[in-house]
Amino acid sequence: MKALKYLNSFLLKYWKKLLIGLVITISARVFSLFMPSYINESIQVIEQYFRNEISQAEAKQMLLLDIGIIVGTTLIAAILTFLMRQYIINVSRYIEYDLKNTIYDHYQILSSSFYKKNRVGDLMNRISEDVSQVRMYAGPAIMYGLQTLTLFVILIPLMFLKAPKLALYTVLPFPLLSFLIYRISRLIHVRSTAVQTYLSTLSTFTQERFSGIAIVKAYYLEQKIDQDMQALAEEGKQTAMDLAKINAWFFPLMLLLIGASNIIVMYVGGRMYLDGSIDSVGLIAEFILYVNMLTWPVTVVGWLTSIIQRAEASQERINDFLQIQPEINDDLADTQPPIQGDIEFKNVSYKYPDTGIQALKNVNLKIRSGETVALMGKTGGGKSTVIDLITRLIEPQEGTVLVDGVSISNYFLTELRTSMGVVPQDSFLFSDTIENNIRFGKLNATEKEIKTAAQLADVHQNILDFPKGYQTLLGERGISLSGGQKQRVSIARAMIKEPQIFLFDDCLSAVDTETEEVILGNIKNQSKEKTTLIVSHRMATVKHADRILVLEEGEIVQEGTHNELIATPGFYQDLYKEQLNG
C-alpha cells in the first residue's frame, strides 16, 4: 500500500464527496439489515398463528406490516446504493482525470534524454492502462471496501447480540479466510506487476511496428513481425495465465467457506432450537440471511485484494516516472531583458552519455545579432548538437552557452524557446490539419498569417492543390505529404512565429534546387535583423551566409565566407569541387 499513498492528496481534494458517500453507504447498509429481522418476525407470527396464540386476522395484519417494512426498507437501500455509486465512482473518475493530467504535465517538463531512454509504448501504457488500474482502487475498491467494512461493523455485533453461540460458530471460517487472502494477495502483487510490464512491452512493440509499417512492407518483413508477435502473445498468455491461476482460487475458496457457514448455522441452530436455547426457527432463517448477506462482502474481499494489488503495481510504475526530475530546469533562471539574438559558445564540450560519442570539443564561436551563419561538416560532426545546446535541449558538460552575453541557464525555458524558431532535421508533423500544423508556431495566428507563412516556405500552392486545402487532415507524422512538403510546412511553422533567432537544421535536403533558392531568398528577407543559423550539407544552401563554419569531429576547423573558403584547401573546397563536378 506504500505506493498508493501518493493518491492521498487526490482523495483529500474530494473529501466532501467521499464523506457524503460514506454516510450514504452506512445508511444503505443499515436499511438493508431490516429485511432479515422482519423475516424472522414474520416466521414467528406464523408460528404463533399455528399455536393458536393469535387470530388469522391479527396474523394477516402483522404479516402485511412486516412485508411493507421489508419492501420499503429494501427500496430505500436500493436508492441509497445508487446515490453511493454516484458519489464514490464519480470521485474515481475525477482522480483518473487529475492523475492523467499530472503524468502528462510531468512528461512535458522532462528532458529529451528521458525520451531517449524510454519507449513511447511504455509511456502510453503508464498514462492509460496503469491509470485505469489505479482508478479501480480509487473507485470500486473504496466503494465496496466501505460496504464490506460497514456491513461487518454493524452485522457481526448484531449477530452476537441476538445469539452469541450461534454467531460464534457462524464466523468461525472467517479467520481462515483472512489468512488465505493474505497469502494469495502477495502472489497476486508479483504477478500483477509482471502483467503490467508485459502490457508496456506489447504497446511499445505494436506502436513501433505500425509507425514503421512502410519499412516492414518495403523489406517484406510481415512474416518476421508475425512470428515476433506470436512469441510476444505467447509470453503474454503465460503471464496472464499465471495471474489467472492465482485469482481462480479466490471465489471457490470463499464460496466453500460461506457454504460451510450456512451448514454450521443450520446444524448448530437446529440443535439449539431442539434443546430450547432459541425460541423460533425464524432466528435460524435470519442468520442464514445474514450469512448470505456476508457472502458478497466476504467474496469481494478477494476481488478487492486483487484490485488493490494491481493498483499498487501500476502506481509503483507511475511513481517511478513521477520521481524523475528534469535535468534541465529553471532553477537558476531570473528575469532578463528581451532577447536580441547574440549567441556565444565559450569552451563548450559535449559528450553523449548513452553512446560516449564526443560531439563537441572545446568549441568557441560567436554569432552576432542579425547575422546569418552556416554550419557544415561531415555526418556526426556535431552540427545538430550545436542547435540542441542553443535551444537548451541538452546541457554542455564543459563551457558555457550565452545568449546576449547571459548564460542560457539564467533564462526561463519559456522565454528562451519562445524567442527561437526551430526547424529540426526530422520534420515532424502532427496528425491534424495543415493549417493547425502551421499554427503550432503561433497559436493565435490568423488565416492570413498562416497563408503568408506558407507562401514564404513556398508550399502555399501545393496546399491549395489538395481537395481540402489547408483543412487537409494529415496522417501520423505527416505521412500524407512528401518529404519536401513536410520540410516546407515545418519551415512555415517556424516563419509564422517571427522569432528573434532562426535555427534551420538541414531542413531543405528534400527539396529541389529551384525551390530551395526561392525559400532561401524568402528566409533572407524575413530574417533581416534576426539571427539565423543554418545547418546543411549543400553548398547552394550556405553560400549566401555571412559566415560559414566547418565542424569536423566536434571542432571548428574552418571559418570564413563562401569565397574565402573555396579558395582555401580543406573540407569546404573539396565539397565545392565535388558538388560542382556532380
Give 550-575 pLDDT, tens digit per residue: 998 888 999 998 888 888 888 888 88
Which comes out higher in pLDDT, residue 455 or 256? 455
- Given the DSSP bridges, would you call strands 398-403 and 555-560 parallel, antiparallel or unpaired? unpaired
User: What's the average model confidence in pLDDT over 296-315?
Assistant: 77
- Rounded alpha-carbon distances, angstroms, from residue 136 to 90, 242, 305, 309, 346: 11, 21, 11, 11, 54
State residue 1's pLDDT score. Answer: 65
State residue 386's pLDDT score. Answer: 92
Contact 171, 88 (CB under 8 A): no
pLDDT above 70 (res 15): yes
User: What's the average model confidence in pLDDT over 219-233?
Assistant: 84
**Distance between CA atoms of residues 500 and 239, nearest Å:** 54
CA angle 88, 90, 95 (to 5 degrees): 95
Residue 422 pairs with which residues in a beta bridge? 503
Contact 324, 115 (CB under 8 A): no
State residue 286's pLDDT score. Answer: 84
Residue 129 dihedral angles phi and psi, to the nearest 5°: -65, -45
State residue 366's pLDDT score. Answer: 93
pLDDT above 80 (res 314): yes
**Distance between CA atoms of residues 433 and 449, nearest Å:** 16
Contact 133, 110 (CB under 8 A): no
User: What's the average model confidence in pLDDT over 342-354?
Assistant: 90
User: What's the average model confidence in pLDDT over 496-514?
Assistant: 85
pTM reported for the whole predicted model:
0.72
* Percent of the residues in the chain that have a pLDDT greater than 70, as a whole number: 97
User: What's the average model confidence in pLDDT over 150-165?
Assistant: 86
Residue range 167-195, pLDDT digits in tens: 888 887 777 776 776 677 677 767 877 88
How many residues would you count in the chain?
A: 582
Give the pLDDT band of residue 26 (cuts 50, 70, 90): confident
User: What's the average model confidence in pLDDT over 117-121?
Assistant: 76
User: What's the average model confidence in pLDDT over 522-540?
Assistant: 85
Give the pLDDT band of residue 308 (cuts 50, 70, 90): confident
- Quick one: DSSP state of residue 6? G
pLDDT above 80 (res 360): yes
Contact 476, 211 (CB under 8 A): yes
HEC per residue, 557-568 = EEEECHHHHHCC
**Strands of the 372-377 sheet, one edge to the other:** 420-423, 501-505, 531-535, 372-377, 547-552, 555-560
User: What's the average model confidence in pLDDT over 160-164?
Assistant: 87
pLDDT above 90 (res 207): no
Contact 282, 40 (CB under 8 A): yes
User: What's the average model confidence in pLDDT over 112-129?
Assistant: 79
State residue 524's pLDDT score. Answer: 83
The mean pLDDT of the chain is 85
State residue 288's pLDDT score. Answer: 85
Give the pLDDT band of residue 478 (cuts 50, 70, 90): low
CB-count burial class (<10 Å; 0-12, 13-18, 19+) for 107:
middle
Give the pLDDT band of residue 347 (cuts 50, 70, 90): very high
CA angle 77, 79, 84 (to 5 degrees): 90
State residue 582's pLDDT score. Answer: 57
pLDDT above 80 (res 532): yes
Contact 171, 260 (CB under 8 A): no
Give the pLDDT band of residue 85 (cuts 50, 70, 90): confident
| β strands within 378-454, DSSP E | 398-403, 406-407, 420-423
